[in-house]
Amino acid sequence: MRIAVVVGVLISLLAACAGPKASQPVTYSFEGVDMPDNLKAPGRDGLKAFHEALKAKAKGDMDKAEELFLKVVDKDPDNDAAHFELARIYLERKEKETAGLYASQALELDPDNQYYLELNAKLYQAFGKWKQSLALYTQLNEDYPKNTGYYFERAYLYERTGDILKAIATYDKLEQQIGLEEQVVLHKHRLYLSIKDIDNAAKEINKLIEANPNDGRYYGILGEMYEAVGRPDKALEAYQQLIERDPDNPYAALSLANFYRNAGEQDKYWAYIETAFGDPNLPLDLKISHLLTYIDIIKVSENRRADAFSLAQLMVEAHPEEAKAFAMYGDLLYNGGKKKEALAQYDEALALDEGVYSVWEQVMYINAELNQFEQLADISEEAMVLFPSQALPYFLHGVALNQQKKHEDALLVLDRALLIGGSNPLLVAEVYAALGDSYHALGQHEASDSCYTESLSRNPDNAYVLNNFAYYMSLREKNLDQCAEMARRANELEPGNSSFQDTYGWVLYQKGQYEQARQWIEKALNNGGDSSAAILEHYGDVLFQLGEVDEAVDYWNRALEAGGEAKELEGKIKNRKLYE
């Protein structure tokens, strides 16, 4: 296939595209015609403009360069270099259709130019025209056989067009030229596997083993391949071959551990995996990849949890200066339900490398989950300094300040979180919820209601916001029907939550629906709310309204013992009545 044919295809594909039009070659007749001044010496004027355009490009002024190159092709339509430079400018701007027009024109003017061929080949790939790109790279490969990159491109395109054997043959030619090269061999190995030619796939890896008999990676690749195709005998043979050659090779220990784990031989697995994890010469990333397979298992299996923690301990002992080793140990502990122990490992990771933001996130989350708000305030403040463009530390710092009753200070950092986190709607919803808490605590109810409304507009199914908003408005006996709907929805989203059940019961109480209120607050008591002073007091109030005064006084007494508001409760108990 000659290039002119291929170029013609690209021109036809792009001719209808928007953007500046490529100048077509023009044949001028000089017989009896007075040429316009600007065309009398197109070569000379075009050359001057071309150099000016190159200067603009060198200075980084691409708009000026584009303008000047366009003038060049206008004065000298046969200037292939100007078409080429325009194509590169438009490709840099990701305007591939326009780039294609000019690239095609450059190649048509100079069909054997190496750089024009390359650019057009890349553009064909951008358009998904694999066969046309292959034709150009084939010519480049044949014309410039010492350029190894063309072999890789040609093989890749054979693979894209489904001709695996020709892709392999292309790599064979490259190998003949440059000798044994790992990257080439691994490509051929992968291609043979794709057509299920296991024997030839194995031969390729064996070539690497023969050339590098002490490199454990290749035995591992061979063994894993045999395992994947259901030939465990050959896999074990590959692993044992390495162990016999190098008994202390940690790659061999890891490969055999994986083999025995897949075979269900736990004792043998454990013997080899301990050896591998205790060896500092086995790369940390391989150990982390292995431990990642435990993440989901340890949530449900006590035995596997202990195994994972044991391996992680070996890992940090082998890599005491690696922050990500401690971070991985922390991840395992956290997923295994050991939050305080996880926190200790994350702290070790941060002591070694404070620049990993994800570890700071984990530390902040755990402190929040453990209700350690003093520590959360400190750690989030540090994170704010180190990562000033991250919104989460500001949000969690605001949460911690709210819990410490520093509500005015919380407003300042939460406003900052709102400003930074504007592109994350879920985080913004949480920030508005925290602002609602701050304003409520400060008695600014209109601002509080507005913030809760903003939060729910972004995340209408946030059960905690629905519950808090409903409860706080019900205390003011405001919009009770809306409160009831929000409280009901919160219980649908999270059934069995004693606080949510109490809120719904309290809203019903405020609406005067005492029997229904009794049913919901009883649910709260039965779901762990019997130690909550607020829930006990609410139940006493409901009982009083239902005429069960002795029982009401009993629950008020229990609320007082649980730490409820003494002055109000003592008044209720003493006078055996409510003060609304």
Per-residue pLDDT reduced to its tens digit, 59-78: 899 999 899 999 999 888 99
User: What six digits make up the tokens of 389?
Assistant: 């463009």
pLDDT, tens digit, 9 for 90 and up, residues 227-257: 889 899 999 999 888 888 888 888 888 888 9
For residues 36 and 506, the model is more confident at 506
Residue 288 identity: I
Residues contacting 37, CB < 8 A, separation 6+:
none
What is the arithmetic mean of pLDDT over 9-36?
A: 31
> Which residues of 99-157 form beta strands (DSSP E)?
none
User: What six digits make up the tokens of 87?
Assistant: 């194509």
What is the arithmetic mean of pLDDT over 328-336?
A: 95
Locus of tokens 């790992």: 182
Locus of tokens 């395109």: 157
Please tell me the distance from the alpha carbon of residue 534 to that of residue 498, in angstroms, as a whole number: 11
Residues contacting 360, CB < 8 A, separation 6+:
350, 379, 382, 383, 386, 387, 393
How high is the pLDDT of residue 20?
Answer: 33
Selection from 182, 180, 179, 202 nearest residue 192 by Cα:
202
User: By the 8 A CB rule, do 148 and 174 touch?
Assistant: yes
How high is the pLDDT of residue 6?
Answer: 38
Locus of tokens 């410039």: 144
Lowest mean pLDDT among 45-54, 249-258, 281-290, 500-509: 45-54
Confidence bin at 40 (pLDDT 50/70/90): very low
What is the arithmetic mean of pLDDT over 281-305?
A: 90
Please state which of the four CATH numbers 2.60.40.60, 1.20.1440.60, 1.10.1060.10, 1.25.40.10 is assigned to the domain occupying 1-24+41-127.
1.25.40.10
User: By the 8 A CB rule, do 272 and 254 touch?
Assistant: yes
How high is the pLDDT of residue 517?
Answer: 96
How high is the pLDDT of residue 580?
Answer: 59
- Rg from Cα positions in the chain: 37
User: What six digits make up the tokens of 523?
Assistant: 């649910």
Please tell me the distance from the alpha carbon of residue 306 to that of residue 239, in angstroms, as a whole number: 27
pLDDT above 90: residue 446: yes
**Residue 530 DSSP label:** G
User: What six digits make up the tokens of 128?
Assistant: 């998904």
pTM of model > 0.85? no
How high is the pLDDT of residue 45?
Answer: 56
Domain locations in the chain as residue ranges: 1-24+41-127, 477-580
How high is the pLDDT of residue 44?
Answer: 52
**Residue 25 DSSP label:** P
* CATH node for 477-580: 1.25.40.10
User: By the 8 A CB rule, do 555 and 538 touch?
Assistant: no
Residue 388: C-alpha distances to residues 145, 165, 413, 479 (Å): 53, 54, 12, 40
User: By the 8 A CB rule, do 10 and 140 touch?
Assistant: no
Confidence bin at 434 (pLDDT 50/70/90): very high
What is the arithmetic mean of pLDDT over 172-198?
A: 95
pLDDT above 90: residue 34: no
pLDDT above 90: residue 288: yes
Measured in whole angstroms, how far is the alpha carbon of residue 561 from the centre of its chain? 50
How high is the pLDDT of residue 90?
Answer: 92
Please tell me the distance from the alpha carbon of residue 131 to that of residue 260, in angstroms, as a whole number: 46
User: What six digits make up the tokens of 289?
Assistant: 């990849």
Please tell me the distance from the alpha carbon of residue 287 to that of residue 277, in angstroms, as a whole number: 7
Domains 1-24+41-127 and 477-580 share a fold: yes
Other CB atoms closer than 10 Å to residue 176's CB: what's the count?
A: 8
Measured in whole angstroms, how far is the alpha carbon of residue 553 from the centre of its chain? 56
Residue 130: C-alpha distances to residues 82, 115, 123, 166 (Å): 27, 19, 10, 14
User: By the 8 A CB rule, do 487 and 503 touch?
Assistant: yes
Residue 149 dihedral angles phi and psi, to the nearest 5°: -60, -30
User: By the 8 A CB rule, do 98 and 15 touch?
Assistant: no
Residue 178 dihedral angles phi and psi, to the nearest 5°: -110, -5
Locus of tokens 């030229």: 177
pLDDT, tens digit, 9 for 90 and up, residues 413-431: 999 999 998 888 999 999 9
Selection from 147, 138, 96 nearest residue 6 by Cα:
138
Residue 247 dihedral angles phi and psi, to the nearest 5°: -60, -25
How high is the pLDDT of residue 324?
Answer: 96
Residue 526: C-alpha distances to residues 3, 425, 504, 508 (Å): 82, 36, 15, 18
Please tell me the distance from the alpha carbon of residue 458 to that of residue 451, in angstroms, as a whole number: 11
How high is the pLDDT of residue 1?
Answer: 31
Output the average pLDDT for the chain: 88
Please tell me the distance from the alpha carbon of residue 120 to that of residue 125, in angstroms, as a whole number: 9
pLDDT above 60: residue 2: no
H, E, C per residue of 376-393: HHHHHHHHHHHCCCCHHH
How high is the pLDDT of residue 241?
Answer: 87
Residues contacting 434, CB < 8 A, separation 6+:
395, 398, 399, 402, 410, 414
For residues 507 and 42, the model is more confident at 507
Residue 346: C-alpha distances to residues 206, 377, 396, 430 (Å): 43, 17, 18, 25
Residue 257 identity: A
Residue 439 identity: Y
Please tell me the distance from the alpha carbon of residue 580 to that of residue 576, in angstroms, as a whole number: 13
Helix, strand or coil, per DSSP, at residue 112: coil
Q: Report long-range pairs for 491-497 (Cβ below 8 Å, ≥24 apart).
A: 493/461, 493/463, 493/466, 494/463, 496/527, 497/463, 497/467, 497/527
How high is the pLDDT of residue 192?
Answer: 96
How high is the pLDDT of residue 255?
Answer: 85
pLDDT, tens digit, 9 for 90 and up, residues 488-519: 999 999 999 999 999 999 999 999 999 999 99
Locus of tokens 């086995």: 282
Please tell me the distance from the alpha carbon of residue 225 to that of residue 523, in angstroms, as a whole number: 58
Please tell me the distance from the alpha carbon of residue 396 to that of residue 391, in angstroms, as a whole number: 9
Other CB atoms closer than 10 Å to residue 354's CB: what's the count?
A: 14
Please tell me the distance from the alpha carbon of residue 348 to that of residue 367, in angstroms, as a whole number: 16
pLDDT above 60: residue 205: yes
Please tell me the distance from the alpha carbon of residue 173 to that of residue 183, in angstroms, as a whole number: 14
User: What six digits make up the tokens of 429?
Assistant: 């919803």
